[in-house]
Amino acid sequence: MICVFCWVGWALLSKLGSEEIPPNTMQFLFTLGTIPVGLALLIARRGRLQKSRMGITYGVLNGILSGLGRLTLFAAYHTNANTTLITAATALYPMITVVLAITILREHFRPIQALGLVFAAIAFVIFSI
Amino acid sequence: MHIPLWLWYSILTLLAWGVVGLLQKLPTNHVSAESSLIWLIVGFLVIEPFFYPGSAVVHYSRVNLTYAVLSGLLNALGAWALFAALKSGGKASIVAPLTALYPVVVIALVPLILNESVKPLQWVGVACALIAVILLSA
């Protein structure tokens, strides 16, 4: 519940801020907002940070890609298009994850996921009309 | 078929986040969830210099600047809460789909907070998207 509450606030504030502030500045300020949480986590762990090379590589890569994805989200909000449509369209990112997990990680493809992809495709066709 | 600009940007977002979704599974095999979140923030900081706005930032309203910084704070707190939920015994099969539904709450609040309206056909698209999110995270 806390997670959902926080992420709802994040989405709405992102839209409100993006009405005036351009995407690159939004991303810059967004990151400033994440620093206190990172510091609080470090303090909670008494400065102990696991330094596995693979863990660091994936973690930092996640941050870079996540930041670039957020930059284009801010750009979408900055176009003043409908927030509901942007939120619904960008929420569909698990469809890319599912396709990648099946093709790269060779995970099992479940029928329910196929149905999800069909609904996602219909949503995109409607959004582009 | 004309793809509007906002949809192009949204497609880029979901492509990047789709890869992130895959990569998120991998670091926790090597480090704890908290360490993953810290390294994620380090990743944000790596690209931070490219977005340095310089003195232009003083021209924006204080309210919107606050919104932008708060959005980052809430996003990271949400991620922390998600990791905490998983750490305190929450099943990933329940926690992940539940938290993936935050767009439903956003969509419910948009007409009230932002006074935006959506055409009937677009609501069908939104419904399809939300059904897809539920099915894909099930």
pLDDT digits (tens, 9 = 90+) for B56-96: 888 999 999 999 999 999 999 988 888 778 777 777 667 77
Tell me the C-alpha distance between A95 and A123, whole Å: 12
- The answer to whether B74 contacts A126, with C-beta atoms less than 8 Å apart, is no
Minimal CA–CA distance to A126: which of B100, B137, B120? Answer: B120
Please report the pLDDT score of residue B28 as a whole number.
62
Give pLDDT tens digits for A65-109.
Answer: 999 999 999 999 999 888 989 998 898 888 888 888 888 878 788
- The answer to whether B4 contacts A17, with C-beta atoms less than 8 Å apart, is no
DSSP of A29-89: HHHHHHHHHHHHHHHHTTT-----HHHHHHHHHHHHHHHHHHHHHHHHHHTT--HHHHHHH
| Residues lower than pLDDT 70 in chain B | 1, 25-29, 92-93, 138
Tell me if chain B has a CB within 8 Å of the CB of A63: yes
Judge whether A86 and B101 are in contact, CB under 8 Å.
Answer: no
Mean pLDDT of A39-48: 86
